Amino acid sequence: MFSLQRNKLSRLALGGALSAGALFFLYLVRPLFTPLLGAALLAYFLKPAVIALEKRGWPRPKAILLLYLLGLAVLALTLLYVLPRLLRELNKFLDQLPVFTGEVQGWLQHFYDRYQRPGMPAGLKRLVDESLAVFQGRIEVGIRQAVGLLAGLFSGLTSIVLAPVLAYYLLKDSENLGRSALRLLPPAWREDLLGLWMEIDRILTGFVWGHLLISVLVGALTGLGLFLAGSPYAVVMGIIMGLADLIPYFGPLIGAIPVVALSWMESPRLAIYALGVIVVVQQIETAILAPRILGQSVELSPLAVILAVMAGGELFGVVGLLLAVPAAAVGRVIVGFLWSRLVSR
């Protein structure tokens, strides 16, 4: 009896030591998480197309390489046709920036002149001063974060280049990796955990592929609508709306603020057109794109999605906003799996 307890304690101690060592190793190699995360997202995005090509008789390595070549062709066309227009729009915006700045300063001076009238109560003046100071501080923080994000993108070029290489091997050897992981599990757990992983894999694949495609379509439709409305910054604004749409629920509002503001600086009429384009595109996304492309892949209620996005943004910032919904969907699957096993036993 004593010998059995000692052996059990020894196994627990060994398991604890191995777990601690693994966690410490992961902490040491934490810079690798960025390219691994990018590789995982790219692999999930390409996986449906790879499987479709495999069913048509393509070997998996050749299917992956074909998709990479198609991706490079799209990137080349973007650099040849879209990037020059984007640069022209940015240069035009920079040329007009002093005019915009002068208009904003004129509005602020007009507000300041009215604000300094003696009839305004002292308490209200103090409240306005504090609100303006907070608003100015948040703008400065936002600008610093944007500059830091751009600097991070340039400093993370190695991760950007490494992600497709890692994604290739994740796609090529996914079955072998899965079988190797299963062999490490106790035989009694394998069937249950394999079913759990297949459900998680289905949800993540549907979410990543569907959400990225919807964001691209939203950006393209917004850019086209603004171009037809006569906006000189249609490409830039389309890209802004496409990137913002990656954030569920709150993304369209986040993207609409700079788009409408830039359009207002050009003319109030264009700002109204821009707002109309955004509203129409969001209705198209809600009524047509999201149901047909994304469907019910995450199987979360709207309330759960909103709460997940708010919690993710509060805890982890922009990254939390982007990953909150798939993380919540995976958590729902795991909790449901554990609950079913506890109830069945």
pLDDT (tens place) for every residue of the chain, 345 residues total = 545 555 656 666 665 676 677 677 666 766 667 777 778 878 878 888 888 888 888 898 889 899 899 988 988 887 787 767 767 766 776 676 666 666 666 666 666 666 555 555 666 666 666 666 666 566 556 556 555 555 555 555 566 678 888 888 888 877 777 777 677 777 777 777 777 888 888 888 778 777 888 888 999 999 999 989 888 888 888 888 888 888 777 778 888 888 887 788 778 888 889 999 999 998 888 777 777 776 566 677 777 777 887 888 777 776 677 778 888 888 888 888 888 777 655
Q: Which of 193, 293, 284, 291 is nearest to 241 (CA)?
A: 284
Task: Give pLDDT, residue 125.
Answer: 64
Task: Quote the tokens at residue 123.
Answer: 């308490």
Q: Label residue 217 left, alpha or beta by phi (over 0 means left) and psi (-120 to 50 means alpha).
A: alpha
Q: Which of 211, 205, 203, 213 is nearest to 299 (CA)?
A: 203
CA atoms within 13 A on the CB side of 219: 19
Which residues make Cβ contacts (< 8 Å) with residue 168, sequence separation at least 6?
64, 68
Cβ atoms 186, 316 nearer than 8 A: no
Q: What gap in Å lies between CA 78 and CA 239, rounded to an integer?
A: 12
Cβ atoms 152, 160 nearer than 8 A: no
Collapsing DSSP states into helix, strand and coil, what is residue 328? helix
**Chain centroid offset of residue 264 CA:** 28
The torsion angles phi and psi of 311, rounded to 5 degrees, stand at: -65, -40
The torsion angles phi and psi of 184, rounded to 5 degrees, stand at: -80, -15
Cβ atoms 69, 63 nearer than 8 A: no
Task: Quote the tokens at residue 320.
Answer: 């939390």
Q: What gap in Å lies between CA 208 and CA 246, rounded to an integer?
A: 10
Task: Give pLDDT, residue 302.
Answer: 72
Please tell me what DSSP assigns to residue 247: S
Is the four-CA dihedral 309, 313, 315, 317 of positive or negative sign? positive
Q: How many CB atoms are closer than 10 A to CB 155?
A: 9
What pTM did the predictor assign? 0.64
**Chain centroid offset of residue 164 CA:** 18
Task: Give pLDDT, residue 310.
Answer: 82
Q: What gap in Å lies between CA 252 and CA 275, rounded to an integer?
A: 11
Burial (CB count <10 Å: 0-12, 13-18, 19+), residue 242: buried
Q: What gap in Å lies between CA 3 and CA 206, rounded to an integer?
A: 51
- Cα distances from 188 to residues 149, 180, 194, 271, in angstroms, run 47, 16, 11, 62
Is the four-CA dihedral 289, 292, 294, 295 of positive or negative sign? positive
Is the four-CA dihedral 298, 303, 306, 312 of positive or negative sign? negative
